[in-house]
Amino acid sequence: MTSIAANLQAVTARIAAAARAAGRDPDEVRLLAVSKTWPASDVRAAADAGQLAFGENYVQEGAAKAEALADGGLEWHFIGPLQSNKTRVVATHFDWVHSIEREKIARRLSEQRDAHRPPLQVCIQVNVSGEASKSGIAPDELAALADAVAALPQLRLRGLMCIPEPTPDAALQRERFGLLRRLRDELIARGHALDTLSMGMSEDLEAAIAEGSTLVRVGSAIFGARARKTGMESTPA
Domain coordinates in residue numbering, the chain: 3-223
Quick check: helix, strand or coil at residue 74?
coil
Distance CA(133)–CA(54), nearest Å, equals 26
Distance CA(224)–CA(226), nearest Å, equals 6
Output the pLDDT for position 72.
86
Q: How many CA atoms lie within 13 A of 107 on its CB side?
A: 6
Output the pLDDT for position 225.
79
Give the tens place of pLDDT for each residue, 106-146. 999 999 999 999 999 999 999 998 877 778 999 999 999 99
**CATH superfamily membership of 3-223:** Alanine racemase (3.20.20.10)
Output the pLDDT for position 129.
86
Output the pLDDT for position 2.
63
Distance CA(162)–CA(207), nearest Å, equals 13
Quick check: helix, strand or coil at residue 58?
coil
Which residue positions in the chain have pLDDT lower than 50?
230-236
Output the pLDDT for position 157.
98
Give the tens place of pLDDT for each residue, 33-53. 999 999 999 999 999 999 999
Output the pLDDT for position 131.
75
φ, ψ for residue 29 (rounded to 5)? Answer: -115, 115
Longest alpha-carbon distance in the chain: 48
115 Cβ contact list (under 8 Å, min separation 6): 154
What's the predicted TM-score (pTM) here?
Answer: 0.92
Distance CA(55)–CA(219), nearest Å, equals 9
